[in-house]
Amino acid sequence: MKQKLQDEFKIGAVIEVGHPFIREKYSGCDADGPFERMTWRPGTRVEPVYPDDAEEVADAIGTQIITIVGVYKPSGYPARVFFTRRWRDPQGHEFGKTKCQIKTAQAFRRRCRGFGYPFRVIAPVSAVALLEATVEE
C-alpha cells in the first residue's frame, strides 16, 4: 500500500539538519557609532587548492531547523511542501526569518538530507574560540 503524502510530511514537524557555517566580519552602526565584530553565516566559502583547483570549506557545523507548515498536491503536478527555516549557529544562537519556503517533495527530501555540496570543516579549535578571535584592523 502506498504511503500518503500527509503521513510522510507531518504538518508541524520540526527537522534539524547539520549545516556548515563560516565566520566573517560584520560591520554595523549603533548608538555608540560604527563597529565591527565576528559573526557566523550559514554556508561555505571557496578556498584555492594548489595548483589549479578549489574546494568548499566551513569553519564549523551548526544546524538548519526546518518546520513543515503545509503540504499540497495540485492535480497533475508534483506535491509541494511549505516550510519555514531557522538557523542555530555553532555557539547555539538561533536566528532566521519566518518567510514561507516552498519546495517539491523531492527537493524537500534532498534539503533534509543535508548540505548539497561536499565540503571540508577546517576548524582546528572550538567554534567558541573562533568567534572570540579578535578582528585584525
Can you tell me the distance from the alpha carbon of 59 to that of 24, in angstroms, rounded to the nearest whole number?
10
Reduced to 3 states (helix: H, G, I; strand: E, B; else coil), residue 101 is: strand
Pairs from 24-33 (Cβ < 8 Å, separation ≥ 24): 25/135
Domain boundaries, the chain: 5-132
The three cell numbers locating residue 68: 513543515
Interval 25-64: pLDDT, tens: 999 998 988 999 899 999 999 999 888 899 999 999 999 9
Burial 16-40 (b: 16+ CB within 10 A, else e): eeebbbbbeeeeeeeeeeeeeeebb
Q: pLDDT by residue (tens digit) across 59-110?
A: 999 999 999 999 999 999 999 999 999 999 999 999 998 899 999 999 999 9
Q: Is the pLDDT of residue 11 over 70?
A: yes
> Pick the residue with more confidence: 64 or 4?
64
Distance CA 26, CA 135 (A): 10
Find, among 85, 64, 49, 73, the residue nearest to 18 by Cα.
64
